[in-house]
């Protein structure tokens, strides 16, 4: 099995991470990186690290190989918030921009509450990824209200944030709460509230043993569709998981169909499967139903995604692995996680740029 580990130097003379964040590095030099071979994660992680470490940043060829290259609204909203949080300077910050520069300044140490209103197609879970690292090391707790889609394709679902990412980040010593104010499916009319408590430093994590699977829960959600559609997703996911494991009863497998139509805005459907182990590992797979309304395919894909991670003895699922690398880079010490046999370009990019910005 292949093990991912990322060692990061101490942040200097025993000083806390918060002290480093408060320091303002006045330098004319820029760290220049190319976003040609990556997507939004390069933008999110690089901006967060540059702001925290006070390093001038230039990203060229942003998302150059994507169908719609350049900055999307999702990225523009996120980098604008980070820049405002640290009184930074942005150039090239506009829709479809392929080159952007960022000069961070001193972090605001007085404002305790922020609200970010977004537009169509902006995921609050992706916004949380760029905002959260920048709020951890402030001198006081911060309240952040994010308005946008809570459940949308090509982004982590709200259930991934609350059920998997949150408990994983708690292992680093990160303490934050998440409240769903309004669910919004493929719409900009939702909202979540995060309350992020301040920390002096992050603890390194070591997740090297998956352990025994203690439970697998498959939940299928619909908004504007029927519970039968949700059941189709669950049964398809179960069918696929049975190709990986002979008997799901050994893992306390359960299914639940949830209709959110009366409490949500928008329309859509998605499936979220969560596995837990006796070593406190939590792995998930979430898939949204595509425009062809293929509920069976969504269930199959979710089951296959989680099944692969579990049989590879990964201690974090393939999506969460990418998201924790920035916290591994900020932690004081060496963190290690077991990734099984899959090493994606996303992970390679996340590690490369974390090393570049923290080096």
Q: What is the pLDDT of residues 12-67, one digit of tens each?
A: 333 333 333 433 344 459 999 998 878 899 999 999 999 999 999 999 999 988 88
User: Which residues are CB-contacts of 226 (< 8 A; sequence separation ≥ 6)?
Assistant: 259
Question: Strand pairing partners for 253?
Answer: 216
- Residue 28: per-residue pLDDT: 53
**What is this structure's pTM?**
0.91
Calpha distance 26→8 (Å, rounded): 23
Active site residues: 346
Phi, psi at 42, each rounded to 5°: -60, -45
- Per the CB < 8 A criterion, the answer to whether 90 and 100 are in contact is yes
Mean of the per-residue pLDDT values for the chain? Answer: 90
- Residue 67: per-residue pLDDT: 85
User: Which residues are CB-contacts of 185 (< 8 A; sequence separation ≥ 6)?
Assistant: 149, 150, 151, 152, 223, 224, 260, 264, 265, 266, 267, 268
- Ranges of residues in the chain with a pLDDT under 70 are 1-28
Calpha distance 218→103 (Å, rounded): 44
Cα angle, residue 176 at apex, residues 170 and 182 outer, rounded to 5°? 125
Tokens of 215: 């439970």
Tokens of 249: 């009863």
């Amino acid at each position: 099995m292949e093990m991912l580990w990322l060692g990061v130097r101490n942040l200097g003379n025993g000083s806390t991470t918060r002290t480093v964040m408060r320091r303002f590095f006045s330098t004319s030099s820029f760290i220049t990186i190319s976003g040609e071979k990556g997507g939004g994660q390069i933008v999110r992680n690089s901006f967060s690290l540059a702001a925290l470490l006070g390093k001038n940043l230039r990203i060229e060829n942003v998302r150059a190989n994507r169908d719609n290259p350049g900055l999307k609204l999702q990225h523009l909203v996120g980098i604008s918030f980070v820049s405002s949080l640290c009184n930074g300077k942005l150039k090239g910050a506009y829709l479809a921009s392929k080159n952007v520069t960022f000069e961070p300044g001193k972090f605001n140490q007085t404002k305790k509450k922020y609200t970010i209103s977004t537009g169509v197609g902006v995921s609050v879970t992706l916004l949380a990824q760029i905002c959260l690292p920048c709020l951890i090391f402030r001198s006081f707790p911060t309240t952040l209200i994010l308005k946008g889609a809570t459940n949308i394709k090509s982004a982590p679902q709200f259930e991934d944030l609350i059920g998997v990412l949150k408990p994983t980040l708690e292992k680093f010593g990160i303490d934050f709460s998440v409240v769903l104010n309004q669910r919004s499916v493929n719409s900009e009319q939702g909202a979540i509230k995060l309350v992020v408590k301040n920390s002096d430093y992050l603890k390194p994590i070591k997740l090297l043993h998956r352990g025994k699977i203690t439970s697998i829960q498959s939940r299928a959600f619909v908004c504007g569709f029927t519970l039968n559609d949700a059941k189709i997703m669950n049964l398809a996911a179960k069918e696929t998981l049975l190709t990986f494991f002979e008997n799901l009863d050994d893992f306390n497998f359960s299914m639940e169909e949830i209709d959110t139509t009366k409490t949500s805005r928008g329309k859509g459907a998605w499936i979220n499967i969560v596995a837990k182990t006796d070593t406190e590992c939590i792995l998930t797979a979430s898939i949204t139903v595509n425009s062809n309304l293929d509920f069976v395919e969504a269930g199959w894909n979710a089951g296959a995604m989680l099944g692969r991670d579990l049989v590879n003895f990964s201690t974090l699922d393939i999506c969460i692995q990418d998201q924790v690398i920035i916290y591994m880079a900020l932690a004081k010490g060496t963190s290690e996680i077991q990734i099984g046999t899959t090493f994606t370009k996303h992970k390679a990019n996340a590690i490369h740029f974390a090393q570049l910005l923290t080096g």
